[in-house]
Amino acid sequence: MSPRPTRRRRPSPALLAALAAVLVALLAVPPAPAATGGAGSVEGPVQEGPPVGDTPFDRHGMWIWYVSRSERGNLGAIVSRARRVGIGTVYVKAADGADLWRQFSRRLIRRLHRAGINVCAWQFVYGRRPVAEAKAAARAVKRGADCFVIDAEADYEGRYAAADRYVRALRGRIGDGYPVSLAGFPYVDYHPSFPYSVFLGPGGADFNQPQMYWKTIGTSVRRVFEHTYLHNRIYGAPIYPIGQTYEAPGNRSLRLFRRYAASHGGLAVSWWDWQETGGREWGALRAAVGERPLARYRVEVEHPVLKRGDRGDMVVWAQQHLVAAGEALPVTGVFAKRTRAAVLRFQRDHGLPATGTIGTETWEALISYEPVRARWAATRGRPGARPRPATRPLSASLPARAYEIGPRPWAGP
């Protein structure tokens, strides 16, 4: 909510003239040439992904699993806490699979809206009944949600056709312009069969909210940022980090997480989760020091390297872009001879070093193309024609390298 405007004294004509002179001088200075080439190091905040706007994802957020266990279900207390800490968006579980939860009610949404707080619905999905899941998601949106989050994890690994059916059915019900994010595993390289390319691809989610729970993963705050951003930035969706307040991560780590987020572009942070956040954690989320980027920290703007023999969804994503660039190439998720030849042609056509591997320079050229949208789900085809069966890339059978975030009982009340 905007503060009441105060009356301001008009500037003098002399001051206006001086300001105009400064502006003219600044406009006369030619812009510095843009840097080209490979990975670069940038000191200070870096904008990750495309420009972002005034969306519910751009406000600091807190996730609610059970409303009844968050401030004992007292909506007035939830509003008071959110105001004290600066929480602008509350993510409330609205559905588990195809089952819509009663706690995501119009009453809850109206109460938070009256306080100026955005309400985002989130749904844990399994992929066994993707159209039914999409219908439940659309019902939650129609209750008045400001945004929607797909919480897809291990159950969706290898399920390209199910992911395709889900996002098509969801967008068909809520429209292409409604704000949707994916909250999934943060380490893309650990999950070669997970359909990131579907959930974050054309027609999918516009925003990326990786679950960057450093303490649960067993790493440092710095490492969770660098590992996550390295592999997620190729998908092009702006990255809004989800940090953890559960398992008592420590106030210093909470403030550090906020400062690394500020250094990586300053996109809003949200936290899992309300019911497991104690008084000390709430205080760390409110501390002003967390808003400042880290001094002398250099963000490495890099992309993952793919080469012949690699397999997984990152290869799927690269192949979708190569096809968009004019290469006749099957999307298999396997970096084999044909893919290497396509990469070499692409590099020569774009004035890049012809290495046959995909590094930062080649990724930056590739992702300037809108990727082709693969059709993994079954289709009926023309009347009288045989239906096209569901398919998936060859890499969809690969096991996870590891589970940086282990199984958690998020499903079911």
Non-local (6+) Cβ contacts of 257 within 8 A are: 212, 214, 221, 241, 243, 269, 290
- CATH number for the region 313-397 comes to 1.10.101.10
User: 178 pLDDT exceeds 50?
Assistant: yes
- Spatial contact of 405 and 217, defined as CB atoms under 8 Å apart: yes
> Position 72: which residue type?
R
Q: Stretch 110-134: mean pLDDT, rounded?
A: 98
pLDDT at 24: 32
The crossing angle, in degrees rounded to 10, of helices 279-286 and 251-263 is 30
Measured between alpha carbons, how far is 78 from 62 in angstroms, rounded to an integer?
Answer: 11
Measured between alpha carbons, how far is 183 from 236 in angstroms, rounded to an integer?
Answer: 15
pLDDT at 291: 82
pLDDT at 286: 87
The 10s digit of each residue's pLDDT in 226-260 is 999 999 999 999 999 999 999 999 999 999 999 99
3-state secondary structure of 239: strand
Q: Stretch 170-197: mean pLDDT, rounded?
A: 98
Which residue in 236, 242, 146, 240 sits closest to 196, CA to CA?
Answer: 236
User: 13 pLDDT exceeds 80?
Assistant: no
Residues of the chain with CATH 3.20.20.80: 56-301
Residues of the chain with CATH 1.10.101.10: 313-397
User: 301 pLDDT exceeds 60?
Assistant: yes
User: 103 pLDDT exceeds 50?
Assistant: yes
pLDDT at 410: 52
Measured between alpha carbons, how far is 211 from 255 in angstroms, rounded to an integer?
Answer: 17
Q: What are phi and psi of 402, to 5 degrees?
A: -170, 165
Q: Stretch 273-278: mean pLDDT, rounded?
A: 96
pLDDT band at 413 (very low <50, low <70, confident <90, very high): very low
C-alpha dihedral (202, 203, 206, 210), degrees to nearest 10: -80
- Spatial contact of 121 and 148, defined as CB atoms under 8 Å apart: yes
Which residue in 246, 245, 241 sits closest to 264, CA to CA?
Answer: 241
Structure tokens, 283: 């205080």
Which residue in 257, 252, 162 sits closest to 210, CA to CA?
Answer: 257
According to CATH, the topology of domain 56-301 is TIM Barrel (3.20.20)
Q: Stretch 130-142: mean pLDDT, rounded?
A: 98
User: 403 pLDDT exceeds 60?
Assistant: yes
- Spatial contact of 361 and 38, defined as CB atoms under 8 Å apart: yes
The 10s digit of each residue's pLDDT in 16-47 is 344 344 333 333 333 332 232 344 554 455 55
Please give the model's pTM, rounded to 2 decimal places: 0.86
